[in-house]
Structure 1
Amino acid sequence: MSANLSRRTFTLGTAGLGLVGALGLVGCSSQQGGGGGAEQGSGRLPAYIPYEGLTPDLPTTEDGLPAGFFAYPADPVQAFTEPPGDGDPVSAIVQTSEPIPPAVDNNPYWQELNARLGSDLQVAMTPAGDYASKFATIVAGDELPDVFQVARGANQVPQLLAAKALDLSPYLAGDAIADYPMLANIPTESWQHGMFDGKILAVPVPRGVLQSTIQYARADLLRELGITAAPTNFQEYFDLCKEVTAPTANTWALTSVPTNYIMQMLSVPNGWREEGGSLIHYSEVEEMPEALEAARTMYEAGVVVPDSFAVNGSQYKQWFMAGAALFTGDSYSAWPAYYAQSGGIEGFELAGLDMPGYDGGEGSIWVRSPTHSIVAVNQQSEARAEVILGIMNWLAAPFGTEEYRFRKYGVQDHNFTLDGSDPVRIEETTGETFLGIQYLADAPTALYLPGNAGVVQAQYEQMGRVIPGGSPDPTEALYSETKTRKYSGLTDVLNAVRDDIIQGRREVSDWAAEVETFKTNGGDTIRAELEEALAAQA
């Protein structure tokens, strides 16, 4: 097939794309306002002042592409000349997706961090899956520390922050943020998540477009089959999937039905579409039945691993790494994890598919939230606001600085060694660095893979082809209390119907009735609250 189709070439690489810093594992209900729909993102935002202390090999773009680096600078810039702390402890709570590290008394990294900050950072870490309930308990007991990461899905976030969070506007609004240059390096779109009723009530933890999902391909296995070209429309994609599927050899094209990828080929909205102040939910658009029919057809054709609906994402990764499937959907941030698991696979290579239109041309990737979560300062800590913001500023020092290298990798020759100028973690002690401080403040993410400039370049170029035509969610920085309470359950019902349709247990024609149920059971209320917030923002 590859010799007969005129298609784009796969973006091939010889190693993975390293995304420096922990990337978002959960989103955050960081919106703001009053009871239902609420004004958010208005008020005087902090000025955006990009950090100019170093020059990346690949620049950040207005479309949101992160900076790329081919190596860590040999002489990292020292961004700070003195500790930001005042000698007194600073308490904090955060989530973590890593093992809990040794306590400070047995943790040289934590001790060195406290020395560099000039204040002991007393951070309480909770596994991400338990953080929402832990956060709710702390709020109910009025035991919030100096700094707190707002939990995903927390109810009445506007009211919570209005009652408990310090208004940071006097310190950060407009050009005032120049006193905190590393926080000023956070893009404006992330700061909109920290605005509540015209006030800056939280500092965002930026993540950017790396949370957007693409279709990955096992380029090494495709090349063995003589396939080096990428599809330019749905039919070519479907044909390619059929060509590489060989059930007798326990090989299929896909780890799961690529419904979201098909929806993006059809430019189905990223959650919602805004037209003249009115919002249209993705489930309502005329392209949805076509997407469902295409997904059902692919499943019926047998190009998906048969057990795909019975397992979760971790199993998809195992199938993909084992070569049982040649395509899988995942975020840009997953790229390094695949390579971390590929040590025993000779010649392992990934490729990222672009986003072709369903009938040709271009589709539209869903550009995910620019913000992982938001972090607030306790009102009761107002007397130390400048010290606390100074510490958060230190924690947001960008890639290429000495502070960033220490923060992410630890103490040289104890937590990491150098290979040339690139830090290499020491497995026995790297667990000391798992303090979750990337959820208190962080720099914009960068593309970085030690020793493989070609792959960083290729990934950057692939993102450059796809991201500019992407679709952000127009409600991303808006708050709806009904959405916080009900949207997850409502979409779970829609997703169950979607899966039934794909597996042939229901008809595509059943979708319209389920959409009406979604609207009646809360969807229309969510829409009204978001439209109210959208109007207030405008």
Structure 2
Amino acid sequence: MTLNAASSGPSRRSFLASTAVATAAVAGGMPLLTACGGSDSGKREGATSGKAADKLIPTYVPSTVAKPDIPSKNGSSAGYTGKVDLAALATSVPKKLGTGAPLEIMSPLWGTPPKPGCAYYKALDAAAGTKVTWQNQDGNTYGQKLGAILASSSIPDMVVVPDWELVGKIGNAVTAKFMDLGPYLQGDKVKKYPNLAAIPSDSWRMGIFGGSLRGIPMPTAPASFVMPYYRKDIFDKKGYSVPKSADEFLSWAKDATSAKAKVWACGDMSWVAGSIFGAFPGWNIGDDGKLRYGIEQPEYLEGLEWSRKLFDAGVVHPDDKARSGDAGQRFTAGQILVYVSDASAWYMKTAEQAKANPDFQIEAMDIFGADGGNPTLYASSPANIWSMIREGASKETVENALAAADFAAAPYGTKERMLVDYGVEGTHYTVKGGVPVKNDQGNSEVINAWTMLAAPAPYFAHPDFPDVARKQAEWQQRMGAFMKKTSTYGMKVIEPARYANLASQHEQLQIDYVRGNKKLSDVQAAISTWKSSGGDKLRDWYKELLDKNGSGN
């Protein structure tokens, strides 16, 4: 179960979803204690925020290349709903910043890696002035590879580090093995790289590890919440009303489920249960002034209990209960009428079904409060994926890595963004009705590699389905109106290593409980064990941290 899970931009779940390899793991989900601290001496643990962080991050110079049709509001992504004049794309990198020196980059990749030296890689290198050798690793097992690499003496020049892999000793290694980028990016120095300068400051703050700016961020919109999608075409056909409370949802689900007809109301809803019941992720100081961890709040258990009611009522598809197969495919097949995913699914499912099922309509329900009132939602982290440069890299290597990141962060409406996202016209895509459409070579080569190095300020843009971009942005705007920030918002907290794996069993326990395989008393006992085994001491540590740094909200 996620506690008000945010889709965290290009999270592990969104990358998996984009390659139709959905799994149960979600970045920004159940807040396992990602104990990523260094030694207990405190040299590498803690956080840097406020004025201290402001001194370390780049000067913010927003891009003026393309004005969005739907500006960001309430923490939403911006939205572009008009067609871009492909013949009049702007240039965001007027001269090559790379020198063509060799550069090795390790990154997670979901799907089949493009062949070395493919047309896409050659085109990007030629445009950016780089010469990248990609060490693409299976995203599903990336943490194992990342841990092994960081424990070795041979680290690639640049490494992509997702937040969800910062467990055990990896967080400690990050502060030891990657360099301080301040001498290249701090303050006005970033202006050499205008696309990096256009990344929002909150996202840069999340790149501070061990008191130094080490991570180049992929920004995330604060209002990037997990979305409960429903089959609007079937709802309209059946005359269903969209539920407005937890009880209404359960009642509707019982009516909509027909095992005989092989139709179930929903998939596993525990990913959005925390949002419905108003649970917060991580650590937060409540209205009563007390600091609590997510699993200690009543709303956490209430969300779990509601999720279990859905399983007990038989309204969840059996394969979701067994955690097998792909819920997204069950959704498009009409076997489930509601499923939970991130914002990317809105476009992907629409595009996927456009020809196969013209009647298919996907919409996202507004997240409702459990009692039918307004929800209480908590902001997503401003960034949760970074590219980092190894300690000891030469100045030329660093500048070539930054040149690659600056190119990758090109904003919408530019030649650079078009090349990163679609490749070369005629080779990777053709233009039909003013809209770029990838061919088979584009689909096999233009996949997440360059996009992992950095990204522009969050936005939605789908030239082939502009209405989807509008709906995505407007949904985030509506939900963002009910958004709060936790006490640690905007801080990259490095916890002491002695608390590693303190809550490592909670996620599996949640999975078992909602499926009826564990009792509520088992969950409560686990919470008590967490407290006595170090949770209360970790609370004291966080109190000192917040006293020193101030609250993120």
- TM-score bracket for this pair, using the shorter chain length: 0.7 to 0.9
Q: Equivalents in 2 of 1:284, 1:487: separation in Å?
A: 14
The equivalences for 1:7-46 within 5 A come to: 27=27, 35=40, 37-41=45-49, 42-43=52-53, 44=55, 45-46=57-58
The equivalences for 1:395-414 within 5 A come to: 395-414=408-427
Q: Equivalents in 2 of 1:170, 1:30: separation in Å?
A: 28
Q: Equivalents in 2 of 1:417, 1:111: separation in Å?
A: 19
Shift of 1:222: 0.6
Aligned equivalent of 2:216: 203
Query: CA offsets, 1:334-391, max 9 Å, x none?
Result: 2223234424223100111112111222112354333231221223224223343233
Counterpart of 2:388 in 1: which secondary structure? strand
The equivalences for 1:147-186 within 5 A come to: 147-150=158-161, 152-153=165-166, 155-157=168-170, 159-186=172-199
Q: Is the CA contact (8 Å cut-off) linking 2:98 and 2:128 kept in structure 1?
A: yes
**Residue of 467, 470, 473 corresponding to 2:480:** 467
Aligned equivalent of 1:7: none
**Residue of 77, 94, 100 corresponding to 2:107:** 94
The amino acid across from 2:393 in the alignment is S
The equivalences for 1:93-492 within 5 A come to: 93-104=106-117, 107-150=118-161, 152-153=165-166, 155-157=168-170, 159-209=172-222, 212-227=225-240, 229-256=241-268, 258-275=269-286, 279-312=291-324, 314-342=325-353, 343-384=355-396, 385-434=398-447, 436-472=449-485, 474-475=487-488, 477-482=492-497, 485-487=500-502, 489-492=504-507
Aligned equivalent of 1:10: none
Q: Is the CA contact (8 Å cut-off) linking 1:241 and 1:254 kept in structure 2?
A: yes
Aligned equivalent of 1:54: 66
Q: Equivalents in 2 of 1:524, 1:201: separation in Å?
A: 30
Aligned equivalent of 2:21: none
Q: Equivalents in 2 of 1:307, 1:117: separation in Å?
A: 46
The amino acid across from 1:279 in the alignment is L
Query: CA offsets, 1:98-156, max 9 Å, x none?
Result: 2111121xx12222222112231122111112322222332333112222223523544
Q: Equivalents in 1 of 2:464, 2:15: separation in Å?
A: 25
Seen in structure 2, the aligned counterparts of structure 1 residues 168 and 484 have a Cα distance that, compared at 3 Å, is farther
Seen in structure 2, the aligned counterparts of structure 1 residues 471 and 333 have a Cα distance that, compared at 3 Å, is farther
Shift of 1:413: 0.6
Q: Is the CA contact (8 Å cut-off) linking 2:69 and 2:82 kept in structure 1?
A: yes
The equivalences for 1:68-79 within 5 A come to: 68-74=80-86, 75-79=88-92
Q: Equivalents in 2 of 1:20, 1:512: separation in Å?
A: 33
Q: Is the CA contact (8 Å cut-off) linking 2:99 and 2:129 kept in structure 1?
A: yes
Shift of 1:473: 5.0
- Unaligned 5+ residue runs, structure 1? 1-18
Q: Equivalents in 1 of 2:66, 2:159: separation in Å?
A: 31
Seen in structure 2, the aligned counterparts of structure 1 residues 128 and 497 have a Cα distance that, compared at 3 Å, is closer
Q: Equivalents in 2 of 1:246, 1:33: separation in Å?
A: 53
Shift of 1:525: 4.3
Q: Equivalents in 2 of 1:202, 1:121: separation in Å?
A: 19
Query: CA offsets, 1:233-270, max 9 Å, x none?
Result: 222222222222223222121122x2343332221122
Aligned equivalent of 2:22: none
Between the two proteins, the alignment pairs up a number of residues equal to: 512
Q: Equivalents in 1 of 2:345, 2:499: separation in Å?
A: 27
Counterpart of 1:393 in 2: which secondary structure? helix
Q: Equivalents in 1 of 2:309, 2:130: separation in Å?
A: 60
The amino acid across from 2:153 in the alignment is D
Seen in structure 2, the aligned counterparts of structure 1 residues 57 and 293 have a Cα distance that, compared at 3 Å, is same
- Unaligned 5+ residue runs, structure 2? 1-8, 17-25, 29-33
Q: Is the CA contact (8 Å cut-off) linking 1:70 and 1:456 kept in structure 2?
A: no
Q: Equivalents in 2 of 1:180, 1:433: separation in Å?
A: 24
| Cα RMSD for the two superposed structures | 2.9
Q: Is the CA contact (8 Å cut-off) linking 2:38 and 2:497 kept in structure 1?
A: no
Seen in structure 2, the aligned counterparts of structure 1 residues 441 and 377 have a Cα distance that, compared at 3 Å, is same
The amino acid across from 1:318 in the alignment is Q
The amino acid across from 1:262 in the alignment is A
Q: Is the CA contact (8 Å cut-off) linking 1:409 and 1:433 kept in structure 2?
A: yes
Tell me the TM-score normalised to structure 1 length: 0.86
The amino acid across from 1:40 in the alignment is T
Counterpart of 1:90 in 2: which secondary structure? strand
Query: CA offsets, 1:425-484, max 9 Å, x none?
Result: 011343223361222222234212223333322222222111231345544621214498
State the percentage of identical aligned residues. Answer: 25
Q: Is the CA contact (8 Å cut-off) linking 2:100 and 2:131 kept in structure 1?
A: yes
Q: Equivalents in 2 of 1:411, 1:30: separation in Å?
A: 43
